[in-house]
Amino acid sequence: MSLDLFNRSGVENITTRHIAKELGISQGNLHYHYPNKDKLLETLFSDMLTALKSAERIIEDKPLDPQQMLLSMTDNFKIMYSYRLFFQQNDVIWRRLPEIKEVMTLLFQTKQSEILALIELYKKEGKFREEISARQVEFLAEQFIFNIQSWLNVKDYNPDKVSFAYYAKLLFRLWLPYLHPTEMKTWEKLLD
Amino acid sequence: MSLDLFNRSGVENITTRHIAKELGISQGNLHYHYPNKDKLLETLFSDMLTALKSAERIIEDKPLDPQQMLLSMTDNFKIMYSYRLFFQQNDVIWRRLPEIKEVMTLLFQTKQSEILALIELYKKEGKFREEISARQVEFLAEQFIFNIQSWLNVKDYNPDKVSFAYYAKLLFRLWLPYLHPTEMKTWEKLLD
DNA sequence: GTCTATACAGCGATAGAC
DNA sequence: GTCTATCGCTGTATAGAC
């Protein structure tokens, strides 16, 4: 599978020869199906988008409760990990295919406003402390998305050692200091 | 300058021919001074390390106050930006030169324990709220370093539009919700 | 559709004259 | 030291037989 090759060895190091060999077909044949390497990357990217889309839990009118949000985020992390080239190698890929950069930027901007709306709801419901400024709430939403986008970028994530659920919990630790002390305690237990 | 070429066009796209041309010398001559491309990268990396080292403000026994910390972080961001290939293209570079990965990992681990010690001091001094757990304090230190390592990775940082001081302030917003309400207000003014 | 063969450009790196 | 010339290799992509 070309996905694994790219993930493991890097987009710039994997050639069409490698991919053809892995697939058990000739290089000429590969170029018949995919005119070039970029087309291959684009296909993988749209695969990821559909995977992420189909993993979305139906929100409808009701916002998710913390437990559901954790599950949903775990699913997302799983998908992101299997397509981790788009996060770990974003610089290389964005330089080759600026459209992918644009789509990803837009995607995460949308996610950010969704999460901002959710946080503001939490605040209205009184789960957040009153002294938290609107500016700081925006910052929290920004940080949340930033973490999702970058978690694979620096750390050596090894799915055998640490579970995706663990990283999802770690992510939600961002919220803790914003909550009322009692609410904070119960959340912290949930996230341990 | 090879640094600018790598920063702008990507390590995998810049060849020894490009660099030689930019320097106004022949390719053969370049290979006389730097036996290969990796050696060139290693030199740039150690340049960055010395730049970061010389920018360290003398801490000695006294911990820095918030204002000094902001200035120090602004300096660091400036240096990191001029050597941004090592952050934006970390995946490519780490694959070529695993030693660089190890040194960077170690560097940021050290920074993390330093910042953890500082936070714990703040907590002891009563600037932090009591209900913040030790686990959460560790998390804050981790987040702080994570942000420093990754800030260049996702965003299009444009030094003409937004100042380095702005990003330093943004970084310290991580601390705000951990502080006592009154302390929080004064810090927030500082960070605006 | 799938294959083999090959074209053609670009890469890092070296040889050898000066 | 610095140059030109070139090697050997690998990259993407295409041509043409089956």
Q: Is residue A31 domain-shared with residue A62, that is, in the same domain? A: no
Q: Is residue A91 domain-shared with residue A173, that is, in the same domain? A: yes
The span from the CA of A27 to the CA of A15, in Å, is 10
3-state SS assignment for residue A83:
coil
Percent of chain A past pLDDT 90, that is, above it, reads 86
Q: What is the pLDDT of residue B66?
A: 80
Task: Indicate whether A76 pLDDT > 90.
Answer: yes
**What's the burial of A191, exposed, middle or buried (CB within 10 Å: 0-12/13-18/19+)?**
buried
Contact by Cβ (8 Å): B153, A147:
no
Q: What is the CATH number of the domain that holds B137?
A: 1.10.357.10
Residues of A in contact with B136 (CB under 8 A): 173, 176-177, 188
Contact by Cβ (8 Å): B3, B44:
yes
Q: Is residue A107 domain-shared with residue A71, that is, in the same domain? A: yes
Q: What is the pLDDT of residue B162?
A: 87
Task: Indicate whether A43 pLDDT > 70.
Answer: yes
Q: Calculate mean pLDDT across residues A124-142.
A: 96
- From the list A69, A63, A182, the residue with the least C-alpha distance to A127 is A182
Q: Is residue B11 domain-shared with residue B54, that is, in the same domain? A: no
Q: Three-state secondary structure along chain B?
A: CHHHHHHHHCCCCCCHHHHHHHHCCCHHHHHHHCCCHHHHHHHHHHHHHHHHHHHCCCCCCCCCCHHHHHHHHHHHHHHHHHCCHHHHCHHHHHHHCHHHHHHHHHHHHHHHHHHHHHHHHHHHCCCECCCCCHHHHHHHHHHHHHHHHHHHHHCCCCCCCCCHHHHHHHHHCCCHHHECHHHHHHHHHHCC
Q: Is residue A6 domain-shared with residue A70, that is, in the same domain? A: no
Q: What is the mean pLDDT of chain B?
A: 94
In chain A, which residues touch B (CB < 8 A)? 9-10, 12-13, 88-92, 95, 129, 131-133, 135-136, 139, 143, 146-147, 149-150, 153-154, 170, 173-174, 176-178, 181, 184-185, 188, 192
Q: Is residue B171 domain-shared with residue B129, that is, in the same domain? A: yes
Structural domain count of chain A: 2
Helix then strand then coil, % of chain A, to nearest 5: 75, 0, 25
Q: Is residue A7 domain-shared with residue A88, that is, in the same domain? A: no
Residues of B in contact with A144 (CB under 8 A): none
User: pLDDT band at residue B154, thresholds of 50, 70 and 90?
Assistant: confident
Query: Among A9-18, A109-118, B57-66, B162-171, which stretch is predicted with the lowest mean pLDDT?
Result: B57-66
The helix (H) or strand (E) run that includes residue A57 is none
3-state SS assignment for residue A179:
strand
Which residues are bridge partners to B179 per DSSP?
Answer: B128
Q: Is residue A110 domain-shared with residue A21, that is, in the same domain? A: no
Asked whether strand C has any atom less than 7 Å from the CB of A146, the reply is no
The span from the CA of A179 to the CA of B177, in Å, is 9
User: pLDDT tens digits, residue range B96-136?
Assistant: 999 999 999 999 999 999 999 999 999 999 999 999 999 99
Q: What is the pLDDT of residue A162?
A: 87
Task: Indicate whether A61 pLDDT > 70.
Answer: no
Task: Indicate whether A191 pLDDT > 80.
Answer: yes
Q: Is residue B70 domain-shared with residue B10, that is, in the same domain? A: no
Q: Is residue A30 domain-shared with residue A46, that is, in the same domain? A: no
Q: What is the pLDDT of residue A161?
A: 84
Q: Is residue B21 domain-shared with residue B88, that is, in the same domain? A: no
Tokens of A77: 């992390």
- From the list A190, A106, A91, the residue with the least C-alpha distance to A145 is A106
- Sequence-distant (≥ 6) Cβ neighbours of residue A189 within 8 angstroms: none
Q: Is residue A8 domain-shared with residue A67, that is, in the same domain? A: no
Kindly give the interhelix angle for B37-55 and B66-82, rounded to the nearest 10 degrees. 160
From the list B12, B131, B146, the residue facing A12 with the nearest CB is: B12
Residues of the domain holding B107: 38-190
| Cβ separation B185–A154 shorter than 8 A | no
Q: What is the CATH number of the domain that holds A20?
A: 1.10.10
The span from the CA of B51 to the CA of B49, in Å, is 5
Asked whether strand D has any atom less than 7 Å from the CB of B33, the reply is yes
Q: What is the mean pLDDT of chain A?
A: 94
- From the list B155, B9, B6, B41, the residue with the least C-alpha distance to A96 is B9
Q: What is the pLDDT of residue B155?
A: 82
Q: What is the pLDDT of residue A178?
A: 98
